[in-house]
Structure 1
Amino acid sequence: MVDIGLSFAKYIVFIFNFLFALVGLCMGAVGVIIKTKLVHFEAFTNQVLSAFPVVLIVFGCVIFLIAFLGCCGSVSENTCCLFGFSVILIMIILFEVGISIFAYEKKDQLDSFVENSLRDTLRNIKDDSTLYPPWHLLQYEFNCCGINSPDDWKAVNDTIYLPPSCCHLNIDDQTTCLKDQASKLGCKKALIDFLHDHIVYLVGIGAGIIVFQLFGVVFSCCLFSVFRKN
């Protein structure tokens, strides 16, 4: 009966680590997707937000390697591998909790930062032509115009015409875009809503991963104890 229970525990931990490896791959994939989404809007985001997808990718790779360590420990009945797996996993959980607390505390600063970034880039767009493509892409992708409304372009444009993207037109489209044809949605609201939705989504995934990791620590510690007794 002991051998049957031990074999069952080994398979449970092995299956957990296999799933854990998939979680690591998924985290890396999510990081790549977010990085791809944000790369065009880095002019409107701070370095912390831009670095977040990179952290996800690195963490995904680390988790994948740790899961491999756990698999080796459970199959070979190596107590050192299991102990190391449990300790590293606990450290990762603590780090993730710390990152979550930090992100929650900085959440209220996101709105003001986005607004300041939009104002600064729009104010300097005349002197820096490299700021226009990000603004065009932002307005085109989110079907918005200006910071709060199309009126924000009055300080930049000397004509009554707005950028083509305000009317959801391509940048090389020769069709004129007038105020009454432009989107009434401000880009500040559109971008903040987009970031908030993705943050909530990521927090939910993160909470699920932490719970999943806690089960892994418990299973590994139990298996470690059984191997030591044997």
Structure 2
Amino acid sequence: MLAKIFTTVKYTLVSVNFLFLITGIIILSVGSSVQSAYNEYHAFLSERFFSLPAFCIATGVIIFLISFAGFYGAFKEDYYVIMGFVGAMVLMLIFQLSACIAGYVLRGNTVALVCWRMNS
């Protein structure tokens, strides 16, 4: 009975880590897409608008690497690797929240700044 519970927990962690792996790839691709889509407006926008896509790219890579480590730790049932993974994912949650807040704050200034730069 106890072995079935541990097996269920193991494969649940493997599945959750796989979802985080996919999330890291999605965040990486969104950051890359935004960076390439707005690259032609680089002359009109300040550098702070291009730091957010770079931040998303870095976050996506880090989430990908950490989730792979969590996948490995869950598969091999290594307690210390899993605890390191949990701590790293809490840090990534904080980084993602800060990226969302920065994107929301910079959202309204983009159109006004582009119009002002194009007129001057």
User: Structure 1-normalised TM-score?
Assistant: 0.48
What displacement does 1:102 show?
3.2
Residue identity matched to 1:112: A
**Runs of 4 or more off by more than 6 Å in structure 1?**
none
For the pair 1:29 / 2:29, whether they are aligned, the reply is yes
Which amino acid letter does the alignment assign opposite residue 74 of structure 1? A
Instruction: Indicate the SS of the match to 2:43.
Output: helix
Task: Select the structure that is richer in helix.
Answer: 2
Q: Which residue of 2 is the match for residue 48 of structure 1?
A: 48
The runs of 5 or more residues in structure 1 that have no matched partner are 121-230
* CA 69–8 in structure 1, closer or farther in 2 if over 3 Å, else same: same
Matched residues in 1 for 2:112 and 2:18: separation? 42
Instruction: Give the CA RMSD over aligned residues.
Output: 1.6
What are the within-5 Å matches in structure 2 for residues 157-176 of structure 1? none
**3-state DSSP class of the match of 1:45?**
coil
Deviation at 1:112, TM superposition (A): 2.8
Residue deviations 1:89-125 (CA, integer Å, cap 9, x gap): 11111122223223333434334322222222xxxxx
What residue is the counterpart of 1:118 in the other structure? 118
**C-alpha distance in 2 between matches for 1:112 and 1:101:** 19
Instruction: Mark the runs of 5 or more structure 2 residues left unpaired by the alignment.
Output: none
CA displacement 1:169-209 (0-9 Å, x = unmatched): xxxxxxxxxxxxxxxxxxxxxxxxxxxxxxxxxxxxxxxxx
Highest RCO, 1 vs 2 (Cα 8 Å, sep ≥ 6)? 2
Deviation (angstroms), 1:9: 0.9
Task: Indicate the larger mover: 27-36 or 12-21.
Answer: 27-36
| Residue matched to 1:58 | 58
Bigger radius of gyration: 1
Distance 1:26 1:104, change over 3 A: closer
TM-score (norm: length of structure 2): 0.88
Q: What is aligned with 2:82?
A: 82
Deviation at 1:29, TM superposition (A): 1.6
1:46 is paired with a residue of what secondary structure? coil
- Is residue 21–residue 68 contact of structure 2 (8 Å, CA) maintained in 1? yes
Secondary structure of the structure 2 residue equivalent to 1:74: helix
Q: Distance in 2 between matches of 1:103 and 1:30?
A: 13
